[in-house]
């Protein structure tokens, strides 16, 4: 009677990795469990317990302490204590009960007997934080390949509307012209508004041009008549299956039997890129700020869709950043039309997350301007006017003004090339921690518009100075260590270093920013010009700054944080709320919490390495 021990059984079956086991396996585990009660303020393992035991905390709390009695972590109901399962000789952890604690215990042998049957469960206990993260991220890419997230996305969110239609009486030449004008490779052929077929550019090539058919013949001669359709409620995955099995690239979408739009293979596979490109092309065509404002409202929706399609945060960041650049370029062009041509060459620069191509919807603008040294004082107003126009325009499009005033409207950040040279010289050669704190955003710069050589020259000179400049790197490292990841989670709260509990996890400052900071330091130390965090980490992997495996771990950690941030923001955006970076631990699964703890460990290890080095 397996459900006789239902209370214990039900308790452990929801705890990762045991949630991957079958009921029968859980039952076998349960029968080998013993229950112990440990008084508050006692050390674990309890007297008489053999060393290799896994503990489930049924009630109560455990605190972990490292060397020098430093609080490492706290665990509560439903958490596992695996410290004594595979004791790590290198790490001295002492575990103390903070309250009277009821433990479900299982000896290593009895545990292994069952978990060795499950690869996932076995790996959970066998691996280090970095290894578990790697496995998790590998699974991500597998999922992306299988497109399992397409199953959770309805065609409704993927197709574009309206489907372009053409009346069946029109001829092939007119069809080709319409395709070219509208930029579609596929049209729905109608008779009195009813769909009767579908025609693609391939049909024109193979059935008309290839066959020598008169282009003045009606389009109905070359159209396909047996048209498969999808309903808006079908999943995007259904669409993918139909298309790949029939080797077709276009599917009309109907809603309540009426033609609603068209979904293409490109829509599905490169949905994110496609949308970004579409939005960018709309931006390029806009003539008024009010039009740009309208288009900018699509950005949050784009982010939700990309998130639902399982797009990585790297891709989302690149797409959103590209669109922001498109907005900026369009605004600059409008300004130039208004103000006349630039008196001397200049470049519009993006700083921070936009420069790193890691921008999400609703982020603030960080920008600057670099102007040729040929600038005459009487021409300075032109650049000021341009900056005002562009920054106001960006603000109208939802990119709020930078709270730290890092914008081209600030004369400090709208300077000639020689002044920028001086800025970097001062930051790098005579660094002061405070100045560096305020200027770190300028070590992530990219040219959005204008003469790229202006920035490139400044950057090249700067990198020469940063490379192996230990004083500068030391100051930068000290600042980077200001953002520490939390210790973990305890009873649904975020446990921070001093033992306090926070309600939410600040994904940006306590996870993403520390990795961005580390990547910047490595890049500057190694003289790497890349600004994108992943590109930086890839570029420095295997250099004295960072081993290949450490780089891999940081990349996995960064991508996992990006994924959490993306899904968190998608939840908020879908609910019509403003996206933020404050993740309440309760909204993610216990397994995701486990992975986050692994992320924290990876970041902490590398931060500690910096601390030791400097």
Partner 1 sequence: MWPFFESFLSAEQQRKRALRRVPEGALKEYLSVPFPDKNATISELTLLSVDFETTGLNAMTHQLLSIGSIEIDGGKIKLASSCHNIIKTKGKLEANNVVVHQITDSEKEQGIELKTAVDQLLLALAGKVMLVHYAKIERQFLRQVCFELYGVRPPLMMIDTLLLAKKRLDIGGQHYDPSIFRLESLRQSFQLPSYHAHNALNDAIATSELFLAEINKYKQGVKTKIRQLLCSV
CB of 6 vs partner 1, minimal distance in Å = 5
Decide if 515 contacts 558 (C-beta within 8 A).
yes
Identify the residue among 1, 145, 575, 612 touching partner 1 (CB under 8 A). 1
Give the shortest CB-18-to-partner 1 separation in angstroms: 15
For residue 385, give Cα distances in angstroms to 274, 412, 589: 34, 15, 50
For residues 99 and 580, which CB has a smaller minimum distance to partner 1 in the complex?
Answer: 99
Which residues within the stretch 42-61 sit at the binding site for partner 1 (CB under 8 A)?
A: 48, 58-59
Contact stretch for partner 1 (CB under 8 A) within 31-39, 289-297, 486-494, 552-560? 31-39
Task: Give 7 or 379: the residue with its C-beta nearer to partner 1.
Answer: 7
At 588, list the tokens. Answer: 């993610």
How many Cβ atoms sit within 10 Å of the Cβ of residue 547?
13
Spatial strand order in the sheet of 230-231: 230-231, 250-255, 258-264
Token pair, residue 108, equals 């290593």
Which pairs with CB-CB distance under 8 Å and at least 24 residues apart come from 331-338?
331/289, 331/292, 331/389, 331/390, 331/393, 331/394, 332/386, 332/390, 332/448, 332/449, 332/450, 334/287, 334/289, 334/389, 334/393, 335/385, 335/386, 335/389, 335/390, 335/393, 336/386, 338/389
Measured from the CB of residue 107, what is the shortest distance to partner 1 in angstroms?
A: 11
Q: Does 7 bind partner 1 (CB under 8 A)?
A: yes
Candidates 37, 210, 281, 589; binder of partner 1 (CB under 8 A) is: 37
- The answer to whether the beta carbons of residues 263 and 239 sit under 8 Å apart is yes
Q: Provide DSSP, 326-353.
A: HHHHHHHHHHHHHH-S-SS-EEEEEEHH
Residues 280-319 that bind partner 1 (CB under 8 A): none
User: Nearest Cα to 418, choosing from 467, 450, 463, 374?
Assistant: 374
Rg of the chain in Å (alpha carbons): 29
Q: How far is the CB of 93 from partner 1 (least distance, A)?
A: 23
Based on CB atoms, which residue is closest to partner 1, 33 or 516? 33
Among 4, 109, 294, 460, binds partner 1 (CB under 8 A): 4
Neighbours of 319 (CB within 10 A): 25
Closer by beta carbon to partner 1, 8 or else 166: 8
Among 21, 26, 33, 111, binds partner 1 (CB under 8 A): 33
CB 174 within 8 A of CB 254: no
Handedness of CA 422, 425, 430, 431 (dihedral sign): positive
What letters, b where the CB count within 10 A reaches 16 and e where it falls short, cover 430-439? ebeeeebeeb
- Give dist(CA 513, CA 511) in Å, integer: 6
| Least separation in angstroms between CB 4 and partner 1 | 5
Tell which one of 105, 323, 326, 570 touches partner 1 (CB under 8 A).
105
- Give the nearest distance from C-beta 493 to partner 1 in angstroms: 19
Specify the stretch interacting with partner 1 by CB under 8 A; choose among 28-36, 112-120, 295-303, 340-348: 28-36
Contact between 100 and partner 1 (CB under 8 A)? yes
The beta-strand segments (E) located in 424-563 are 445-450, 488-490, 493-495, 501-502, 505-506
* 34 binds partner 1 per the rule CB under 8 A: yes
Tell me whether residue 15 or residue 248 sits nearer to partner 1 (CB atom): 15
Q: Is 2 in the site for partner 1 (CB under 8 A)?
A: no
Q: In the complex with partner 1, which residue's Cβ is closer, 2 or 434? A: 2
Q: Which is nearer to partner 1, 36 or 173 (CB)?
A: 36
Shortest Cβ 84–partner 1 spacing (Å) = 15
Single residue of 15, 19, 20, 36 touching partner 1 by CB under 8 A:
36
Residue 102 touching partner 1 (CB under 8 A)? yes
**Contact region with partner 1 (CB under 8 A), list: 33-41, 115-123, 313-321, 481-489:** 33-41
Binding site for partner 1 (CB under 8 A): 1, 4-8, 30-37, 39, 48, 58-59, 77, 99-100, 102, 105
């Amino acid at each position: 009677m397996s459900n006789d021990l239902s209370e214990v059984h039900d308790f452990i079956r929801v705890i990762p990795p045991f949630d991957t086991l079958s009921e029968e396996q859980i039952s076998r585990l349960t029968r080998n469990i013993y229950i112990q009660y440990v008084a508050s303020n006692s050390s674990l393992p309890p007297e008489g317990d053999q060393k290799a035991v896994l503990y489930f905390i049924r009630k109560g709390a455990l605190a972990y302490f490292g060397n020098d009695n430093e609080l490492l972590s706290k665990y509560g109901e439903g958490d596992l204590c695996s410290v004594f399962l595979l004791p790590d000789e290198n790490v001295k952890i002492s575990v103390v009960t903070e309250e009277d604690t009821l433990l479900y215990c299982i000896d290593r042998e009895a545990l292994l007997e069952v978990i060795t049957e499950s690869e996932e469960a076995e790996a959970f206990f066998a691996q280090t934080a970095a290894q578990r993260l790697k496995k998790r991220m590998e699974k991500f890419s597998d999922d992306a390949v299988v497109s399992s997230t397409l199953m959770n996305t309805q065609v409704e969110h993927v197709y574009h509307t309206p489907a372009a239609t053409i009346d069946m009486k029109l001829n092939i030449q007119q069809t080709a012209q319409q395709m070219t004008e509208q930029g579609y490779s596929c049209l729905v052929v109608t008779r009195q508004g009813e769909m009767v077929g579908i025609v693609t550019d391939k049909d024109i090539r193979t059935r008309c041009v290839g066959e020598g058919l008169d282009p003045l013949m009606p389009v109905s001669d070359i159209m396909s008549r047996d048209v498969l359709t999808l309903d808006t409620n079908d999943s995007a995955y259904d669409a993918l299956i139909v298309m790949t099995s029939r080797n077709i690239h276009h599917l009309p979408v109907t809603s309540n039997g009426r033609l609603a739009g068209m979904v293409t293979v490109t829509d599905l596979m490169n949905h994110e890129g496609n949308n970004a490109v579409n939005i960018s092309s709309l931006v390029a065509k806009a003539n008024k700020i009010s039009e740009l404002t309208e288009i900018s409202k699509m950005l949050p929706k784009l982010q939700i869709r990309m998130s639902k399609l399982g797009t990585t945060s790297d891709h989302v960041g690149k797409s959103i950043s590209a669109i922001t650049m498109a907005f900026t370029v369009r605004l600059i062009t409008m300004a130039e039309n208004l103000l006349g041509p630039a008196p001397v060459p200049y470049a519009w620069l993006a700083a921070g997350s936009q420069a790193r191509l890691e921008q999400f919807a609703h982020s603030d603008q960080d920008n600057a301007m670099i102007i040729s040294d040929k600038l005459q004082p009487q021409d300075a107003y032109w650049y000021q006017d341009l900056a005002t126009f562009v920054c106001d325009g960006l603000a109208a499009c939802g990119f709020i003004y930078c709270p730290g005033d890092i914008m081209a409207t600030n004369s400090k950040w709208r300077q000639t090339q020689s002044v920028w040279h001086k800025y970097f010289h001062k930051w790098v050669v005579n660094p002061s921690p405070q100045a560096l704190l305020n200027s770190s955003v300028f070590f992530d710069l990219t040219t959005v518009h204008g003469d790229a050589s202006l920035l490139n020259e400044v950057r090249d000179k700067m990198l020469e100075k940063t490379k192996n400049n230990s004083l500068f790197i030391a100051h930068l490292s000290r600042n980077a260590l200001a953002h520490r990841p939390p210790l973990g989670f305890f009873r649904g709260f975020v446990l921070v270093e001093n033992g306090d509990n926070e309600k939410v996890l600040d994904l940006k400052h306590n996870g993403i920013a520390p990795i961005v900071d580390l990547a910047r330091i490595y890049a500057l130390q190694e003289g790497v010009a890349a600004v994108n965090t992943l590109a930086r980490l890839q570029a420095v992997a295997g250099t004295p700054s960072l081993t290949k495996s450490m780089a891999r771990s940081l990349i996995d950690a960064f991508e996992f944080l990006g994924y959490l941030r993306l899904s968190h923001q998608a939840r908020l955006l879908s609910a019509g709320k403003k996206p933020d970076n404050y993740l309440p631990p309760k909204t993610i699964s216990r397994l995701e919490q486990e992975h986050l703890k692994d992320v924290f460990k990876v970041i902490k290890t590398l931060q500690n390495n910096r601390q030791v080095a400097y």
